[in-house]
Amino acid sequence: MQVPYDALLFVSFGGPERPEDVIPFLENVTRGRGIPRERLESVAEHYHHFGGKSPLNEQNRALIASVREELAARGVTLPIYFGNRNWAPMLADAVADMKRDGVRRALAFITSAYSSYSGCRQYLGDIDQARAAVPDAPPIDALRRFFNHPGFLEACTDRVRAAYAELGAQIGESERAKARIVFTAHSIPSSMAASSDYEKQLRANAALIAERLGHAGWDLVWQSRSGPPTVPWLEPDILDHLRALHAKGVAGVVIAPIGFLSDHVEVLYDLDEEARELCRELGVPMARAATVGTHPAFVQTIADLVLERLRGLPARSIGPLPACPHVCAPGCCPRPERPAAPPRGGALGGPSTAGGSPAGSSSGRPD
């Protein structure tokens, strides 16, 4: 007879919380791939631009607190542990804490909504490695991917709706009708995309959100590419796409990072800095949608996922694609072939640098 679950583990990417930790964190993320020091220092500047820290851990702690309250309101009291892949609190330390506290079997919430090697399969491997490092570690079963859970779609739609209203206030309702909603997610290598439903899931969500807003003009584009230039990744890039929209005379854009769960460094830097500056240069009115963060409907989604497993409730989903299974098939989202290390001065990252996104992103430059 299976032991009932008696703990919940949040699993995320991790990020530095002090300036002196930025380079060591990046070295952790890129270990074994021969990334030149100057490239690490270049990416480190993105963190130093925001005070030398990532907000990701802080955002995860806020989400954990909200989930704890939501579960308690539903009569569920579970200790919640928090572990990262790349920086403190580390995943193996969280597993050790669970063992010390007498946890017998835990559920794991991975801060990634969509299916891909680096957004799912790699995290499962990280959990296995963390358990292997702790003798007699408790079994840990991951919750399913939740991209099309109705609560998650509700939270995403609310965030885009607020930005849509903001753009309307800038340019007027009639001009807003001619604007584009530009949905973004972390680019991943084309080989990774071909072996998962990542792009299909994102495209389905984008269509549902645009339909709910009654706005036909939308696009799905990609950001935060970090692999060697010789390796094909999903395109178009957000900045290239903004230039193309400007050339067509677009009235304005809503940029909606639906591939991310929190406003961490990639969202703040790539969209609020680079994309906003480009829009300013081009004279294109822009509003940026917030990520789901601690939106009540997203918090309720996580509680729903836990109760699916605790009480055997049916998996809820919306849209054209089925709910993801509770247990991934052995061959799903396989690891893509790793490209050769980039030459000196090349790009940072590759398929295994999964964006922590809650927290979460899929793959590429850290955070």
Instruction: Tell me the per-residue pLDDT of 252-277, one tens digit each, with 9 for 90 and over.
Output: 999 999 999 999 999 999 999 999 99
**What pLDDT was estimated at residue 330?**
81
Contacts of 150 (CB under 8 A, 6+ apart): 316, 317, 318
CATH topology of domain 7-147+298-359: Rossmann fold (3.40.50)
**What pLDDT was estimated at residue 355?**
35
Q: Is the pLDDT of residue 347 over 70?
A: no
Cα–Cα dist 134/209, whole Å: 43
Given pLDDT bands bounded at 50, 70 and 90, which one contains residue 52?
very high
Average pLDDT over residues 319-346: 73
Cα–Cα dist 224/29, whole Å: 15
Domain coordinates of the chain in residue numbers? 7-147+298-359, 155-288
Cα–Cα dist 183/175, whole Å: 19
Average pLDDT over residues 158-165: 98
Q: Is the pLDDT of residue 246 over 90?
A: yes
Given pLDDT bands bounded at 50, 70 and 90, which one contains residue 338?
low
Q: Is the pLDDT of residue 99 over 70?
A: yes
Residue 319 · residue 202 · CB < 8 Å: no
Cα–Cα dist 349/29, whole Å: 8
**What pLDDT was estimated at residue 339?**
53
Cα–Cα dist 326/124, whole Å: 13
What is the percent of the chain with per-residue pLDDT over 90, rounded to a whole number?
82
Q: Is the pLDDT of residue 353 over 70?
A: no
CATH topology of domain 155-288: Rossmann fold (3.40.50)
**What pLDDT was estimated at residue 48?**
95
Q: Is the pLDDT of residue 291 over 80?
A: yes
Nearest to 106 by CA among 122, 127, 135: 127
Strands (E), 279-342: 286-288
Range name among 28-32, 167-171, 258-262 with the lowest pLDDT average: 28-32
Whether 7-147+298-359 and 155-288 share one fold: the answer is yes
